[in-house]
């Protein structure tokens, strides 16, 4: 069911991209839309991890510097039959973590100094299992592709609105065909639809990573405790992680000045819903 939902949301995003491309320029518009998606996906595939790590200020860390982090990561990676990701530390007090990389062989996991200071061993294990689940499920690549398609839709819609303002095409012909108003509405609504689909996909992958992480460990309690602690501290300590990278984080960082509107369009599900789903999860400890 989770695979079906992910495929559905990605397909819906692609259809919106093709539709907006057709509205902007007919068949040529669709070709332009596909070109945008292809170039964007190429960049996302090879460079999104480097961009996320650099923009967040993450620094590589050695086993000698953080043996506790390496011990947990190596144990869980072996249990999940995954290569050990490259490990990074972000020098900030707000506790958080994220995984990035196009596949398990090119994965990186970054944690903040605040997270290492605040989490006990069971909670740290829950956080790392969650991040390894993103790696195992190729969530980083899926999210990067979705963000790229959504960005292409927004750019094409802007081009379409710009063309409409300056009289591109024949508005009289469009009105005669009954498509002028529809096309105009599409140019304004398509980016909104793309944003909703992208955020729906992101929330779906967070739920899936929570479940996979709990099953990887054999119990959900460490992750539940970690999420509770992360939620409490991230309501008080602003983060320096840029908003472009925040969708990768295990919980949404605090940027200062949050609003009800921003919470309605969050890339993360409400923490209370994630915790409730974990409490209802039936997990069998591995033998």
Q: For residue range 72-110, what is the model confidence (pLDDT) as tens digits?
A: 999 999 999 999 999 999 999 999 999 998 889 999 999
pLDDT of residue 178: 42
Rounded distance between C-alpha atoms, residue 74 and residue 72, angstroms: 6
Burial class (CB in 10 A: 0-12, 13-18, 19+), 113: middle
Q: Are 37 and 17 in contact (CB under 8 A)?
A: yes
Residues 6+ apart with CB under 8 A from 149: 10, 13, 14, 17, 37, 40, 41, 194, 198
* Residue with token string 């320096």: 240
Could you tell me the sign of the dihedral formed by the alpha carbons of 54, 55, 57, 63, in that order?
negative
Rounded distance between C-alpha atoms, residue 30 and residue 6, angstroms: 23
Average pLDDT over residues 148-160: 70
pLDDT of residue 182: 56
Query: Residue 71 catalytic?
Result: no
The predicted-structure confidence for 172-181, as pLDDT tens digits, reads as follows 444 444 445 5
pLDDT of residue 240: 87
Between residues 139 and 159, the one the model is more confident about = 139
β-bridge partners, 97: 111
CA separation, residue 275 to residues 35, 116, 212, 253 (Å): 41, 21, 14, 17
Q: Which of 5, 9, 1 lies closest to 146 in space, CA to CA?
A: 9
Mean pLDDT of the chain: 81
157-183: buried (b, 16+ CB within 10 Å) or exposed (e) per residue? bebbeeebeeeeeeeeebeeeeebeeb
CA angle 45–1–194, rounded 5-degree value: 50
Rounded distance between C-alpha atoms, residue 175 and residue 167, angstroms: 13
- Beta-sheet pairing, 108-112 with 97-100: antiparallel
Q: Are 49 and 102 in contact (CB under 8 A)?
A: yes
- The strands making up 86-90's β-sheet, listed across from edge to edge, are 59-60, 86-90, 108-112, 97-100
- Annotated active-site residue in 131, 177, 206, 272: 131
Residues 6+ apart with CB under 8 A from 125: 72, 76, 217, 222
- Domain ranges across the chain: 2-279
Between residues 218 and 181, the one the model is more confident about = 218
- Per-residue pLDDT for 165 more than 70? no
């Amino acid at each position: 069911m989770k695979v079906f939902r992910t495929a559905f949301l990605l397909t819906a995003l692609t259809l919106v991209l093709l539709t907006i491309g057709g509205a902007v320029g007919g068949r040529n518009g669709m070709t332009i839309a596909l070109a945008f998606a292809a170039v964007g996906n190429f960049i996302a595939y090879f460079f999104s991890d480097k961009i996320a790590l650099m923009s967040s200020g993450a620094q590589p860390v050695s086993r000698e510097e953080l043996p506790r982090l390496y011990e947990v990561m190596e144990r869980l990676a072996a249990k999940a039959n995954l290569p050990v990701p490259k490990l990074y530390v972000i020098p900030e007090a707000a506790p958080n973590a994220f995984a990035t990389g196009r596949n398990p062989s090119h994965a990186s996991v970054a944690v903040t100094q605040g997270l290492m200071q605040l989490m006990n061993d069971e909670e740290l294990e829950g956080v790392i299992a969650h991040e390894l689940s993103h790696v195992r499920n190729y969530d980083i690549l899926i999210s990067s592709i979705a963000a790229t398609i959504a960005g292409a839709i927004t750019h094409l819609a802007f081009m379409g609105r710009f063309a409409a303002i300056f009289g591109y095409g024949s508005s009289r012909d469009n009105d005669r065909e009954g498509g002028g108003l529809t096309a105009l509405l599409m140019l304004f609504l398509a980016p909104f639809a793309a944003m909703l689909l992208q955020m729906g996909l992101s929330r779906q992958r967070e739920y899936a990573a929570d479940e996979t992480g709990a099953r990887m460990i054999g119990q959900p309690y460490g992750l539940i405790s970690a999420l509770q602690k992360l939620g409490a501290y991230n309501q008080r300590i602003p983060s320096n992680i840029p908003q472009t990278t925040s969708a990768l984080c295990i919980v949404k960082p605090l940027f200062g000045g949050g609003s009800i509107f921003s919470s309605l369009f969050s890339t993360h599900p409400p923490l209370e819903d994630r915790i409730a789903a974990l409490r209802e999860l039936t997990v069998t400890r591995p033998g």
